[in-house]
Amino acid sequence: MSTESETPGGDLAGRHLVLGLSGGVACYKAAELARELQREGATVQVVMTEAAAQFITPATMQALTGRPVVTSQWDLRAPNAMPHINLTREADAVLVAPASADFIAQLAQGRAGEILSLLCLARPRERCPLLLAPAMNREMWSHPATQRNVAQVRADGATVLGPAAGDQACGEVGDGRMLEAPELRDELVAFFQPKRLAGRRVLVTAGPTFEAIDPVRGITNRSSGKMGFAVARAAAEAGAAVTLVAGPVALPTPRGVARIDVGSAREMLAAVLPLAPAHDVFVATAAVADWRPADVAAHKIKKDGSGAVPALTFVENPDVLATVARLPEAQRPWCVGFAAESEDVERHARAKLASKGVPLVVGNLGPATFGRDDNALLLVEADRTTELPRASKLALARQLVAAIAGRLPPGRAT
């Protein structure tokens, strides 16, 4: 049995980032962003424009990062008096958050009138990427000049993160809000993940199903959906276009993932089956109920005081994974099953591998992981079993995605 493991540490461990702040009220989010990036293991060097210092002080950002903040191209603390050169030579990326309309216009025109735009222009583009998080009024964002400038900076190689829609400081509502600090953290983490599934389409099911007994009660299980949502996020980080079909769970949708909510096993099959032929990979993480009540009461079943217990008759649910795995070869994605067992995980996973006719089944102990943020997995294939030792579900999902990418047959990219 082989073992695959992941290097410990935050998702940005070993990364050195330049965090640029241009003028805008969204500068207040930069304080939390700096902390979030550091929690993930990054070191953060803040560079601020003169306008940014009107919204948040350099002293605040220096206290949060433990590094002197650079605010001028004439900063003489560097021995060679060239901060615009030095700052990006050791950086893994430059993230400007907030990026104002004026700052984006400067970049689009190649202007370098102050330290932040100057270092963006002087950075070694082949190894120091530039990411921009726009923040501005909705009218400024939608203005043709801004849209031209955004298109130009994208064409010049910058990655634009957002903006989001919502309430704005001016009291208006619309596009132009800077993404929140946790969203930008996740975007940056995803940016650095290897794009092993670029050009692929991945379909994921997650969570339990709910089989109604009456309008109030039903049969379900303890699956939280966390593993499936982690797989969807990891696949999106790896560059795939991801569709997530989720049972009844209370989890936020991973950024960049298209989500379809369902309730029962039959609803899950109805959502999955038309989508499957358009996808390269199908990861059936959901804990689909094997049976459902044969009849659903029209109204809530009441106790009548007699002590009599209502009798329930069950019928078998459709098998979502097996149905997809039986599609004609030209329509069939590469299928991955999940086996949540209570004992003898490898034996049961191997039996499922044969009965479903899929190339890979992922086994785990359900009672030991339901609702938790960590897990341990077995990757069971016809000729081998690979152990993924206990780790966070996201770390395991990334390892699983890497394993899938390494096993995919060629020629299914869309």
According to the 3-state scheme, what is the secondary structure of 315-326?
Answer: EECCCHHHHHHC
* Residues facing residue 70 across a β-bridge: 47
pLDDT at residue 179, rounded to an integer: 96
Query: Are the beta carbons of 264 and 211 closer than 8 angstroms?
Result: yes
Average per-residue pLDDT for the chain: 91
Rounded (10°) CA dihedral 168, 173, 175, 181: 40
Report CA 197 to chain centroid distance, whole Å.
Answer: 14
Q: Is 183 helix (H, G, I), strand (E, B) or coil?
A: helix
Query: Are the beta carbons of 15 and 93 closer than 8 angstroms?
Result: yes
Which tokens sit at 106?
């400067």
- For the chain, what percentages of helix, strand and coil (3-state, to nearest 5) are there? 35, 25, 40
Q: Per-residue pLDDT averaged across 82-90, rounded?
A: 83
| Residue 4 confidence class, pLDDT cut points 50, 70, 90 | very low
> Which residues, including other chains, have CB under 8 Å from residue 12's CB and lie 6 or more apart?
37, 40, 41, 42, 188, 189, 192
pLDDT at residue 9, rounded to an integer: 66
Q: Rounded distance, CA 70 to CA 51, Å?
A: 13
Query: Considering only CA atoms, which of 349, 347, 294, 299 is closest in space to residue 321?
Result: 349
Q: Is 393 helix (H, G, I), strand (E, B) or coil?
A: helix
* Residues facing residue 8 across a β-bridge: none
Query: Considering only CA atoms, which of 250, 244, 253 is closest in space to residue 271?
Result: 244
Query: Are the beta carbons of 15 and 43 closer than 8 angstroms?
Result: yes
pLDDT at residue 74, rounded to an integer: 81
Which tokens sit at 147?
């849209």
Instruction: For residue 152, give the amino acid letter.
Output: Q
pLDDT: which is higher, 205 or 382:
205
Directed axis angle between helix 181-192 and helix 226-237, to 10°?
60
pLDDT of 221 > 50? The answer is: yes
Q: Write out the H or E segment, with its range, that includes residue 34.
A: helix 28-39
CA–CA distances in Å: residue 205 to residues 72, 188, 226, 237, 348: 51, 25, 11, 17, 20
Q: Per-residue pLDDT averaged across 245-274, rounded?
A: 96
pLDDT at residue 3, rounded to an integer: 42
Report CA 348 to chain centroid distance, whole Å.
Answer: 30
Which burial class, exposed, middle or buried, applies to 33 when counting CB atoms under 10 A from its CB (0-12, 13-18, 19+)?
Answer: buried
Q: Per-residue pLDDT averaged across 400-409, rounded?
A: 94
pLDDT: which is higher, 59 or 78:
59
Catalytic residues: 170
Lookup result for tokens 């982690």: 230
Q: Per-residue pLDDT averaged across 115-127, rounded?
A: 94
Q: Per-residue pLDDT averaged across 359-382, rounded?
A: 84
Which tokens sit at 403?
């394993």
Query: Are the beta carbons of 335 and 354 closer than 8 angstroms?
Result: no
Q: What long-range pairs does 258-266 form, CB within 8 A, spacing at least 24?
A: 262/209, 263/209, 263/210, 263/212, 264/209, 264/210, 264/211, 264/212, 264/289, 264/292, 264/317, 265/209, 265/211, 265/289, 265/292, 265/317, 265/318, 265/320, 266/292, 266/317, 266/318
Which tokens sit at 213?
């007994």
Query: Are the beta carbons of 280 and 216 closer than 8 angstroms?
Result: no
Query: Considering only CA atoms, which of 258, 237, 406 is closest in space to residue 336?
Result: 406
Q: What percent of the chain has pLDDT over 70?
A: 96
Residue 382, number of CB atoms within 10 A of its CB: 9
Q: Is 201 helix (H, G, I), strand (E, B) or coil?
A: strand
pLDDT at residue 121, rounded to an integer: 95
pLDDT of 7 > 60? The answer is: no
pLDDT of 5 > 50? The answer is: no
| Residue 72 confidence class, pLDDT cut points 50, 70, 90 | confident
Kindly report, residue by residue over 34-65, the tens digit of the pLDDT: 999 999 999 999 999 999 999 999 999 999 99
Q: Per-residue pLDDT averaged across 213-240, rounded?
A: 94
Q: What is the DSSP letter of 287?
A: B
| Residue 150 confidence class, pLDDT cut points 50, 70, 90 | very high
Kindly report, residue by residue over 290-328, the tens digit of the pLDDT: 999 999 989 998 888 787 888 889 999 999 999 999 999
pLDDT at residue 242, rounded to an integer: 98
Q: Write out the H or E segment, with its range, that includes residue 105.
A: helix 101-109
pLDDT of 170 > 90? The answer is: no
Query: Are the beta carbons of 270 and 288 closer than 8 angstroms?
Result: no
Domains of the chain, with CATH numbers? 2-192 (3.40.50.1950), 201-298+307-407 (3.40.50.10300)
Which tokens sit at 224?
């939280």
